[in-house]
Chain A
Amino acid sequence: MLDIKNLHVAVNGKEILKGLSLRVDAGQVHAIMGPNGSGKSTLSYVLAGRSGYDITEGSITYNGEDLAALPPEERAAKGVFLAMQYPVEIPGVTTMMFLKSALNAQRRSRGESEMDAIGVLKSVRAKAATLNVSEEMLKRALNVGFSGGEKKRLEILQMALFEPKLAILDETDSGLDIDALRLVAEGVNGLRSPSRAMLVITHYQRLLDYIVPDRIHVLAKGRIVAEGGKELALELEAKGYEQIVKDAA
């Protein structure tokens, strides 16, 4: 599904990713772990197509297509979803309105018919219930005044609503207490599917107790320096990033 080869990415002329290669197949959940400043968020943004993240070398192939050639909204329509570390606030736009606009924009882009307000509402409500997203939250302006947990739950709700093929979760665990973390993880686990790939980006091993990955990649200084099964997370927790990075060098 996703095949990244020798990816070099620069931000404001400074190289952040320095030859990253990664392959994630459909049905798999991979975790990217790494210390602060290793390039984790850069990877998520470059996959989503944020401007200012310039690919200087290498390639990103998504379902056989050159992902880098697509604008961000087309990537979204083709099934790339990024659950953001810091979901932004949009004053005056109700959450429900935003969900409807985004869903229909994606559907239009795929040549599908738009869903009417009632259809969207039903679909959102069904998903909202399991994520403990209240009706009242859906009526509020998008992310405005939401707690950290509410914001993250809404990200997962969107992921459930848009049914992406490739879901990238950027530090979804940050700022969550243990109950919120469990709720979010359950939401994510419920979306695991043979046709869906997930890339879970995290600093801490903690999240991986709940979302158990098929494979773990350690990112340091812009490159994957170690790979392994889920047990690698425990090793990291025990030894710390510094040692792993040293071992790999």
Chain B
Amino acid sequence: MSSAAQQTKQQVAELGDKYKYGFVTDIEMERAPKGLNEDTVRYISAKKGEPEWMLEWRLGAFRRWQTMKEPKWARVHYPPIDYQDAYYYAAPKNTPLKQSLDEVDPKLLETYNKLGIPLSEQMALAGVAVDAVFDSVSVATTFKEKLNEAGVIFCPISEAIRDYPDLVKKYLGTVVPVTDNFFATLNSAVFSDGTFVYVPKGVRCPMELSTYFRINASETGQFERTLIVADEGSYVSYLEGCTAPKRDENQLHAAVVELIALDNAEIKYSTVQNWYPGDEEGKGGIYNFVTKRGDCRGDRSKISWTQVETGSAITWKYPSCILRGDDSVGEFYSIAIANHFQQADTGTKMIHLGKNTRSRIISKGISAGRAQNTYRGLVSVHGKAANARNFTQCDSLLIGGECGAHTVPYIESRNSSTRIEHEATISKIAEDQLFYCLQRGLGQEEAVALIVNGFCKEVLQQLPMEFAVEAQKLVGISLEGSVG
């Protein structure tokens, strides 16, 4: 076992007494009763040992949520979700630390192997701190010391609520208000855990921060909450990657991510998401209703979203930037791949409030099988945003004749000095391209992966190195069986 894993094990052992049944080896879940009411919210809050103010915050959100309706405007179709027929809290009673790779779900291992990253190596990845979210409770945090030295706080949000209440109170819900939307409000009421990052003034975070999520409990909604604050002049790069083993039941996932960049600060947030998309007939798969938003609160601040979305049965996700500070910059680089029966409705919002704000949107949508892929984006320039600039490029690639690609750009400008450019293309993988690759010895799937990776190149280049390699392979894996 790697030293990182040992360190994790030790930390988990230390946490052990917090769990009722201590530190034993079988995986049993400790759950709140099915359904959602005020008692569920109280149960979660009590389980996390939260202060009163946090409980009140959650209850406020819950009461609000009860008055809200699920949004229907996205181009996604799914049977009605029975919110009373799900569990809202599941914590491993014990920590399922594996002694060897033999104990790991072979499907998961297969995926890791295809991606070329064995689990053991992932944990030991040099310079990458791994805060493994195993279901809802963060059970492990590593590389803490190094971050401590730099003054960076990187911990489960439940810990931050206890240990850094002032910071959490100051920033939580200030980018995505409790009342924002149906799913975000639900998350605010029942979020189980997530990640908190605070980078102090002038600090360049000494390593890429990374969280690997894994959904493990069947029929357990996942409500992660992430809050990242980059104080003046600081820089942080955060990597989020996800895998999930196969499931038959649809699983609801409604995360909220809030980013705040103060003056001269920069946040780079990268996601590789490959949750279970459902089988080839479209059965099962995860519903991913995520609210991700960054606030360039300070002047000359910058927030950059990069996402590679290959998983989930349904993706409803619009990582956005509020360009509040003057001269602030927002970027959105996205690859969304939908195969088989997957449905993706994803894009971004760039809200220009400050002067000389700039935004850049590069979206690459790939549809295969009978999937539907929609880019939905808003560029909004407010009256005071003099000299705001936006460049948008939306490219869609179709593989086969039964899939669909849709581009829905919304552009609003209330300032005459604005410059907005929008380019969109739609293309198919041509038979002659494929034949050319085959003639040179590439297999069908390798050829598709190569062509698609070429198509996505501008976005892949934005990913940190460790993720770029994984993402390239993932692109290929996601499209297996899409041709021929």
Q: Are the CB atoms of B454 and A72 closer together than 8 Å?
A: no
Identify the stretch in B151-159, B172-180, B402-410, B445-453 within 8 Å (CB) of chain A at 4 or more residues: B445-453
Number of A-B contacts (CB under 8 A): 78
A118 an interface residue at 8 Å Cβ cutoff? no
B441 an interface residue at 8 Å Cβ cutoff? yes
B457 an interface residue at 8 Å Cβ cutoff? yes
Provide the residues of chain A in CB contact with B444, threshold 8 Å: 73
Provide the residues of chain B in CB contact with A92, threshold 8 Å: 453-458
How distant is the Cα of A80 from the Cα of B450 in the complex, in angstroms? 21
Provide the residues of chain B in CB contact with A89, threshold 8 Å: 433
B438 an interface residue at 8 Å Cβ cutoff? yes
- 8 nearest A-B residue pairs (beta carbon): A92-B454, A93-B454, A106-B441, A92-B457, A76-B441, A102-B440, A72-B438, A105-B441
How distant is the Cα of A88 from the Cα of B429 in the complex, in angstroms? 12
Q: Are the CB atoms of B451 and A82 closer together than 8 Å?
A: no
Q: Are the CB atoms of A73 and B430 closer together than 8 Å?
A: no
Identify the stretch in A24-32, A33-41, A46-54, A174-182 within 8 Å (CB) of chain B at 4 or more residues: A46-54
A147 an interface residue at 8 Å Cβ cutoff? no
Pick the residue among A49, A98, A101, A103 that contacts B438 (CB under 8 A).
Answer: A49
> Hey, what's the 0/1 contact readout for B281-321 against A, CB within 8 Å counting as 1?
00000000000000000000000000000000000000000
B481 an interface residue at 8 Å Cβ cutoff? no
Provide the residues of chain A in CB contact with B431, threshold 8 Å: 51-52
How distant is the Cα of A125 from the Cα of B456 in the complex, in angstroms? 27
Pick the residue among A97, A141, A162 that contacts B441 (CB under 8 A).
Answer: A162
B167 an interface residue at 8 Å Cβ cutoff? no
> Hey, what's the 0/1 contact readout for B424-468 against A, CB within 8 Å counting as 1?
000000111101111111111010001101111110000000000
Given the interface pairs A88-B432, A90-B433, A92-B457, the reply to whether A76 lies near B439 with Cβ below 8 Å is: yes
B437 to chain A, nearest CB (A): 7
Q: Are the CB atoms of A109 and B450 closer together than 8 Å?
A: no
Q: A76-B441, A87-B436, A105-B440 are in contact. List 20 more A-B contacts (CB 8 A).
A: A51-B435, A71-B438, A72-B439, A88-B430, A88-B436, A89-B433, A90-B437, A90-B451, A91-B455, A92-B455, A93-B450, A93-B454, A97-B450, A101-B442, A101-B450, A102-B437, A102-B440, A105-B442, A109-B441, A141-B454
Q: Give the size range of B's interface with the partner.
A: 20 to 34
Q: Are the CB atoms of B450 and A98 closer together than 8 Å?
A: yes
Closest to B454 in A: A92
How distant is the Cα of A77 from the Cα of B439 in the complex, in angstroms? 9
Sampled A-B contacts (28; CB under 8 Å): A48-B435, A48-B439, A49-B438, A50-B435, A51-B431, A52-B431, A72-B438, A72-B439, A73-B439, A73-B441, A73-B443, A84-B436, A88-B432, A88-B433, A90-B454, A92-B457, A92-B458, A93-B450, A93-B454, A93-B457, A97-B450, A98-B450, A101-B450, A102-B440, A102-B441, A105-B443, A105-B446, A158-B440
Provide the residues of chain A in CB contact with B440, threshold 8 Å: 76, 98, 102, 105-106, 158, 162
Provide the residues of chain B in CB contact with A90, threshold 8 Å: 433, 436-437, 450-451, 454
How distant is the Cα of A138 from the Cα of B436 in the complex, in angstroms? 17
CB contacts under 8 Å to B, within A180-205, are none
Closest to B452 in A: A92
> Hey, what's the 0/1 contact readout for A66-87 against B, CB within 8 Å counting as 1?
0000011101110001101011
How distant is the Cα of A89 from the Cα of B433 in the complex, in angstroms? 7
Q: Are the CB atoms of A82 and B456 closer together than 8 Å?
A: no
Provide the residues of chain B in CB contact with A87, threshold 8 Å: 436
How distant is the Cα of A166 from the Cα of B209 in the complex, in angstroms? 52
How distant is the Cα of A89 from the Cα of B436 in the complex, in angstroms? 9
Provide the residues of chain A in CB contact with B442, threshold 8 Å: 73, 101-102, 105
A69 to chain B, nearest CB (A): 15
How distant is the Cα of A87 from the Cα of B439 in the complex, in angstroms? 11
CB contacts under 8 Å to B, within A202-240, are none
Closest to B438 in A: A72
Provide the residues of chain A in CB contact with B443, threshold 8 Å: 73, 105
How distant is the Cα of A82 from the Cα of B435 in the complex, in angstroms? 11
How distant is the Cα of A3 from the Cα of B446 in the complex, in angstroms? 31
Provide the residues of chain B in CB contact with A82, threshold 8 Å: 439
Provide the residues of chain A in CB contact with B441, threshold 8 Å: 73, 76-77, 102-103, 105-106, 109, 162
Closest to A50 in B: B435
How distant is the Cα of A59 from the Cα of B48 in the complex, in angstroms? 73
CB contacts under 8 Å to A, within B6-40, are none
Q: Are the CB atoms of A93 and B451 closer together than 8 Å?
A: yes
Provide the residues of chain B in CB contact with A73, threshold 8 Å: 438-439, 441-444
Closest to A84 in B: B436
How distant is the Cα of A71 from the Cα of B442 in the complex, in angstroms? 11
Provide the residues of chain A in CB contact with B451, threshold 8 Å: 90, 93
B457 to chain A, nearest CB (A): 4
Provide the residues of chain B in CB contact with A106, threshold 8 Å: 440-441
B439 to chain A, nearest CB (A): 5
Closest to A143 in B: B436
How distant is the Cα of A103 from the Cα of B439 in the complex, in angstroms? 11
Provide the residues of chain B in CB contact with A77, threshold 8 Å: 441
Q: Are the CB atoms of B438 and A93 closer together than 8 Å?
A: no
